[in-house]
Structures are given as C-alpha cells and as structure tokens.
C-alpha cells in the first residue's frame, strides 16, 4: 500500500473542481482497499471512496482525510437458466462494460450507455436513464463490511433501491462496493419504455440492442451528456438535480402554476401513485436559460439540468449557481430540487438558502 499526501482531486473528477486529499491511496485490489481503510480507522481519519469522479462535487478546501480510489478490474460472464450473469469488479469502467454486453447480444443495460463512471457506483446511485435502472438487473452486490472487516454478498432487497437511491447512500460508512453481478437477458430486444428513445428508433421495425445503444449515445451527445474532449459543456457532474417525484395533488399544483404551459409539462408515473416531473423543464420555465454564465461556471448550453465548469472556477461559485437555480424553481413552482451528485469536503448538507 502506497499512501500519498496532498493529492489534487480536481483532475480526478469530471467537474475538475475542488481541493486536495490529505491522504490518498490507489487500490488495485480488494486487499489494498481493506488495508487502507483499516489504516485510516486506526488513526481516526475520515475516509472517502473515489470511483470515476463523474458524480462528485469536491469542496475547495479538499478532503481532510483518506481518499481511496478504486482501481480493481475484472469481468466474468456465466450462462445460467434463462440469463447471463455478468460479474464485474467495482473499478471496471461502466460504459465499456455496456458496450461489451451489447456486442454479445445481451439485453438489460443497453439504455444505460454513455454514462461515465465505474461499475461500483451503479448500485449506490441506482443508476438509471432512458427507461432502465440497474436495480432491475442487479442479482447481488459484493461488499466489504467495515468494522467487521468481512466480505458479504447483498441481495437486491438488502440494497433498498429507490429512485437514484439505495441503502449505501443512507449508511455510506458501512459498506464498500467491491463488485456487482447483473442478471441479463440473452438475445433480448432493447427496452423502449422512454418516449424519446422510442421515437429515435421508430423507423426500425425491430430495433437491435446495438441500434438502441447508438441512439442513446446520440441523444446523450446532443445534450452534452457524454464526456467528449473539446465540448464546452464537458466539465459537469451530469444531471445536477434529480427529477422531483410528487404526490398527485402536488403535481397538479405545479401544473396549475405552469398556467398555459401545463399541457406541455412532462410527467410520468413513478409508482405508488406518485408522479415524476422533469427538473430540466421546471428549471427552464423558472427563467434559468441554457448557456447562462456566472463567471467560470454556468448552465450547460445543451441541457438545463447540467451545471458546468468552464475552467478556472471554484466549487463555491458552482454551489452559488446551484442555489440560484433551486431558488428560482421553488419560487416559480413551489418545488424543492434535490442535488444528485455526492458532496465531499463540503461540511453541512445541501441548503438551497445558504449564501
């Protein structure tokens, strides 16, 4: 185990913002992960697990503790009755795994193409897009249970999956994800639940998994939701806010506030009788335009839901902009937006009213 001090974290995130880690370990195997965390516990240090850095906002002062960067690799395909089990180490890059699964003609995660980050983050966030969530296909999650220092296999029920949510987010210091097993479908057609994706493939009578992946990548590219060199919107954490999920009466109240635009307001059933609204739509109707600049930070010119860093900025400036956006939506529609990224080294929880 090699422990490095004062390691800059900004280059390890897609936002390219934030200060250094006091201590830093690159962990190429599970044993190093355990050793590093036990080393930190023995010294009373706070710890953080770093994957691809695509869903992370780091404070300008950095993180006064140990950051363990997951770099484990390995993928295994096993055929079983009616399914293909795909087991991947937490440090495997997500999109190359999706590409390989699709190339093998295996369905279940094709709509999750183009999402940056690593496999280990997918159950934590219950990653989802274009009509699919990983919770639908996860068979088990292999974890390190801290304190007991043992490896466990958690079943989906143990993970308590919800919309962009899981048990891992509510008790982040208990488990470290080491690997994930997905139960996928051989020779399955693509999932076309999402209207925008279905429309993109409408010309094909029987769209293939590869066509669905290509369509998703094209849709994401049009919204600058791919990390592409040269794209002015490339420094982001993807969607900064989650789509609000409201009881029907509250959703109707939002529609009433939308006035003449109510008929065009996107809404989807979200289970339990609740309604999911489009945060991006609400943001734009609240007067926050795409391409808005506040110095070195701004709103993506391609998608109002993404906040971007144009270079030379600070996390403090980004959060000030985020609060401006949240305040505009609350004032116009009475909806409280909740950030989707993980905050590191930022002290108190998100507070839209903070200065």
Residue-wise pLDDT for 161-183, tens only, equals 999 899 999 999 999 999 999 99
Please name the residue ranges forming H helices in 263-354.
279-285, 315-333
Please give the mean pLDDT across all residues of the chain: 95
pLDDT above 80 (res 355): no
Residue-wise pLDDT for 213-224, tens only, equals 999 999 999 999
Catalytic annotation on 239? yes
Mean pLDDT score, 296-317: 97
H/E segment holding residue 65: strand 63-70
Asked if 126 and 161 touch (Cβ cutoff 8 Å), the reply is: yes
């995660």: which residue's tokens?
109
Catalytic annotation on 164? yes
Mean pLDDT score, 141-166: 96
Mean pLDDT score, 257-272: 92
d(CA 167, CA 64) in angstroms, rounded, equals 25
- DSSP secondary structure string for all residues of 318-333: HHHHHHHHHHHHHHHH
Residue 145, beta-bridge partner list: 150, 175
Query: In this predicted structure, what is the pLDDT of residue 271?
Result: 83
Mean pLDDT score, 72-77: 98
Q: Tell me how crowded residue 333 is: count the other CB atoms within 10 A of its CB.
A: 22
| pTM to 2 decimal places | 0.93
Query: In this predicted structure, what is the pLDDT of residue 277?
Result: 97
Residue-wise pLDDT for 46-74, tens only, equals 999 999 999 999 999 999 999 999 999 99
Query: In this predicted structure, what is the pLDDT of residue 150?
Result: 97
Query: In this predicted structure, what is the pLDDT of residue 111?
Result: 98
d(CA 11, CA 41) in angstroms, rounded, equals 26
Please name the residue ranges forming H helices in 185-341.
195-200, 209-222, 248-258, 279-285, 315-333
pLDDT above 60 (res 39): yes
In this prediction, residue 350 has a pLDDT band, given cuts at 50, 70 and 90, of low
Domains of the chain in sequence order: 4-70 (3.30.43.10), 75-222 (3.30.465.10), 236-344 (3.90.78.10)
In this prediction, residue 227 has a pLDDT band, given cuts at 50, 70 and 90, of confident
Catalytic annotation on 196? no
Active-site choice (235, 239, 290, 300) = 239
Residues 6+ positions from 224 with CB-CB distance below 8 Å? 231, 232, 233, 234, 236, 300, 301, 302, 303, 306
- Dihedral (Cα; 133, 333, 339, 134), 10-degree rounding: 0
User: What's the token pair of residue 135?
Assistant: 């919770």
Residue-wise pLDDT for 10-34, tens only, equals 999 999 999 999 999 999 999 999 9
What percentage of residues in the chain have a pLDDT greater than 70? Answer: 98
Residue-wise pLDDT for 81-122, tens only, equals 889 999 999 999 999 999 999 999 999 999 999 999 999 999
Active-site choice (142, 164, 220, 235) = 164
User: What's the token pair of residue 148?
Assistant: 């007991």
Mean pLDDT score, 338-348: 90
Asked if 306 and 240 touch (Cβ cutoff 8 Å), the reply is: yes
User: Please, what is the Cα angle at 15 between 10 and 16, to 5 degrees?
Assistant: 30
In this prediction, residue 352 has a pLDDT band, given cuts at 50, 70 and 90, of low
Query: In this predicted structure, what is the pLDDT of residue 354?
Result: 47
Mean pLDDT score, 245-273: 94
Active-site choice (136, 211, 252, 340) = 340
């Amino acid at each position: 185990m090699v422990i490095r001090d004062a390691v800059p974290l900004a280059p390890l995130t897609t936002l390219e913002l934030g200060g250094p880690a006091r201590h830093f370990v690159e962990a190429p195997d599970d044993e190093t992960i355990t050793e590093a965390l036990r080393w930190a516990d023995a010294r009373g240090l706070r710890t953080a697990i770093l994957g691809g850095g695509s869903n992370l906002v780091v404070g300008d002062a950095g993180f006064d503790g140990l950051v363990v960067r997951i770099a484990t690799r390995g993928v295994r395909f096993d055929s079983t009755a009616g399914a293909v089990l795909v087991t991947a180490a937490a440090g495997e890059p997500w999109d190359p795994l999706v590409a390989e699964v699709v190339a093998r003609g295996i369905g279940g995660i094709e709509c999750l193409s183009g999402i940056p980050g690593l496999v280990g983050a997918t159950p934590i966030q219950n990653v989802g897009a274009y009509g699919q969530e990983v919770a639908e296909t996860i068979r088990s999650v292999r974890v390190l249970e801290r304190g007991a220092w043992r490896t466990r296999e958690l079943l989906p029920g143990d993970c308590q999956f919800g919309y962009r949510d899981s048990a891992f987010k509510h008790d982040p210091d208990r488990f470290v994800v080491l690997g994930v097993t997905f139960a996928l479908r051989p020779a399955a057609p693509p999932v076309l639940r999402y209207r925008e994706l279905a429309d993109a493939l409408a010309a094909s009578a029987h769209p293939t998994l590869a066509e669905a992946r290509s369509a998703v990548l094209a849709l994401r590219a049009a919204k600058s939701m791919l990390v592409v060199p040269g794209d002015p919107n490339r420094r982001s954490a993807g969607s900064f806010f989650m789509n609000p999920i409201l009881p029907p009466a509250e959703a109707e109240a939002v529609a009433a506030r939308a006035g003449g635009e109510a008929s065009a307001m996107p809404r989807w059933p979200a289970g339990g009788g609740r309604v999911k609204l489009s945060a991006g739509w609400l943001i734009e109707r609240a007067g926050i335009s795409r391409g808005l600049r506040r110095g070195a930070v701004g709103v993506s010119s391609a998608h109002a839901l993404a906040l971007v860093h144009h270079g030379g900025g600070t996390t403090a400036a980004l959060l000030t902009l985020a609060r401006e956006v949240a305040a505009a939506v609350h004032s116009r529609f009475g909806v409280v937006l909740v950030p989707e990224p993980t905050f590191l080294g930022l002290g108190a929880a998100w507070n839209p009213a903070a200065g």
